[in-house]
Amino acid sequence: MWNQTKITALLGIKYPILLGPMGGGFSTPELLAAVSNAGGLGSFGAYTLSPEQILEANSVIKAKTDKPYNINLWVSDVDDSLADYPAESLENVKELFKPYFDELSIPLPDLDTRIPSKFLKQVEAIFEIRPAVFSFIFGIPSREILDECRRLGIKTVGAATTLDEALALEEAKVDAIVAAGFEAGGHRPSFIRPAHDSLTGIFALIQQLKAKVKTPVIAAGGIADAKGIAAALTLGADAVQLGTAFLVTDESNATPVHKAALFSDESKYTVLSKSLTGRMGRMIRNRISEEVKYETGVLPFPLQTRLMGPLRAAALDQGKTDMINFWSGQNAVNLKHTKATELMQALVTETQHIFHR
């Protein structure tokens, strides 16, 4: 049976279909519950939230599903280079982006380079919640954190963009590994080498991991329909993870203009850029990603995000969508479902049909 895999047995779910844990405010308890209640694994991206906000969100989630679900955090949520970031460099980057602020008639924000990591406090909330799954990107938690997850019965899932990262995750004894192909939307969660040196495609990455690691593999990147699911499972993946296909559903917290962009012809033009957040991510091209090339120095993460936050808000208010980063994977051309439950039903039915043809 296509839907009986190491991952379904490990996580106690019916189908090897996982919701990508979209952080930055895109996740909702409603979207998570729709996927979990339909037999997949719903996920909630919580890296921007305080521990108190994570606990509040979990209370809402618990009221909507009694099925397994995943909460996702970023191990590295502040770039190391921020610690001694020169004031002169900060002013130079602000000057680079000033024309966009001027065009929208808003001032440049005052920025403070002192940004503490939230991760360790957030993990305490994870221990209190005890979700079925704790997934993480941008690194590997300490041995003490992983040991405590095992003690509490929380399954751990790390993300790898390369075979070396997968081997490091296996050595840390995580329960499963997300193979994050370069086709995926959102940030590239590389942690051993720079993101621009970690751009393996999903089909090659699945095969590399299956040849060298024993840990179950979850394929992510450019998978948006049953054909992609069937292809990934045929290559040896134990499950798949979909993000963009769920981002356009009514249950997601993406803005209406973001969803419209994903349904438009423009969605076929995605780029890898760090100009809007400070870390490389895949989005639909826009003026800023085109004009501020990847090689251009910008602020470390999340300071660049804080610089661009007011610009994004003003651009939304003024309808200047060519300045907004609309996250998207490379395969948004055939998106059609706007209800998460209907999407899950279609994925299951059509994948079943492919394997039983």
Other CB atoms within a 10 A radius of the CB of residue 265 amount to: 8
Please, which pLDDT band fits residue 357 given cuts at 50, 70 and 90? Answer: confident
Whole-angstrom Cα distance, residue 156 to residue 131?
A: 10
**What is the per-residue pLDDT for 259?**
98
What's residue 220's pLDDT? 98
Gap between the Cα atoms of 177 and 355, Å rounded: 24
Tell me which of 3.20.20.70, 1.10.1240.10, 3.30.9.10, 3.30.450.20 is the CATH number of domain 6-78+115-255: 3.20.20.70
Collect all residues with Cβ–Cβ distance below 8 Å to 73 and sequence separation of at least 6. 46, 47, 119, 122, 123, 126, 134, 135, 136
Helix axes 119-129, 143-152, angle to 10 degrees: 10
Tokens of 127: 């221990």
Taking the C-alpha atoms of residue 74 and residue 336, their distance in angstroms, rounded to an integer, is 30
In this predicted structure, the answer to whether residue 97 has a pLDDT above a threshold of 90 is: yes
Strand partners, 327: 283
Give the β-pairing of 133-137 and 155-160: parallel
What mean pLDDT value characterizes the chain? 97
Q: Which residue has the tokens 């909630």?
A: 44
293 pLDDT exceeds 90? Answer: yes
Beta carbons within 10 angstroms of residue 309's beta carbon: 14
Pairing of strands 281-284, 186-187: antiparallel
**What is the rounded average pLDDT of the residues 340-356?**
97
Task: Report domain extents, the chain.
Answer: 6-78+115-255
Say what the pLDDT of residue 202 is.
98
Report pLDDT digits (tens) over 12-58: 999 999 999 999 999 999 999 999 999 999 999 999 999 999 999 99
Percent of the chain with pLDDT over 70: 100
Place of tokens 């502040």: 78
d(CA 16, CA 324): 33
Distance from C-alpha of 24 to C-alpha of 172, rounded to nearest angstrom: 27
Buried b (16+ CB within 10 A) or exposed e, 224-245: bbbebbbbbbebebbbbbbbbb
The per-residue b/e assignment along 185-219, b for 16 or more CB within 10 angstroms, e otherwise, is bbbbbbbeeebeebbbebbebbbbbbeebebbbbb
Q: What is the pLDDT of residue 269?
A: 97
Q: How confident is the model at residue 232 (pLDDT cuts 50, 70, 90)?
A: very high
Q: Answer whether residue 159 shows pLDDT above 90.
A: yes
How would you label 57-86 residue by residue, b for 16+ Cβ within 10 Å and e otherwise? bbeebeebbebbbbbbbbbbbbbeebeebe
pLDDT in tens, 141-152: 999 999 999 999
Whole-structure pTM value:
0.97
